[in-house]
Structure 1
Amino acid sequence: MAGNFQTVQCPDCENEQIVFTKASTAVNCAVCGTTLARPTGGNAAIEGEVGETVEAR
């Protein structure tokens, strides 16, 4: 059960945050609180713009 860490840019405030691609809980932006990722049972549904992979597992 491997996943990756990726940078995601918030669609509202453009803050960049690192998100696990298989997040099991909702991930909110640390600045404005917008939902960046929603759990789906597998890979998380990413709401913002995905940037580079920070760490591949």
Structure 2
Amino acid sequence: MAGNFFSVECPDCENEQVVFGKASSEVACAVCGHTLARPTGGKAVFEGEVLETVEAR
């Protein structure tokens, strides 16, 4: 299973969090609980701004 990890900024509290690019469940911000990524069956849809690729595989 190849996939990338991304650093995503929360639009509400500006917290940076690392998210897997093919997330299979919703990923919530650890600080405020805002949804950062939603699964689509393949690549996840990010609701926050993607700042950088942390690890590319």
**Structure 1 runs of 4+ with >4 Å offset:** none
Report the secondary structure of 2:52's partner residue: strand
Cα deviation, 1:1-57, whole Å, max 9, x if unaligned, reads 311000000000000000000000000000000000000000001000001111001
State TM-score, norm by structure 1.
Answer: 0.97
Q: Give aligned-pair identity as a percent.
A: 77
Task: Kindly tell me the number of residue pairs found equivalent between the two proteins.
Answer: 57
The RMSD of aligned alpha carbons is: 0.6
Q: Which runs of 5+ in 1 are unaligned?
A: none
In 2: Cα distance, 1:44 partner to 1:52 partner: 15
Q: Which runs of 5+ in 2 are unaligned?
A: none
State TM-score, norm by structure 2.
Answer: 0.97
In 2: Cα distance, 1:50 partner to 1:39 partner: 16
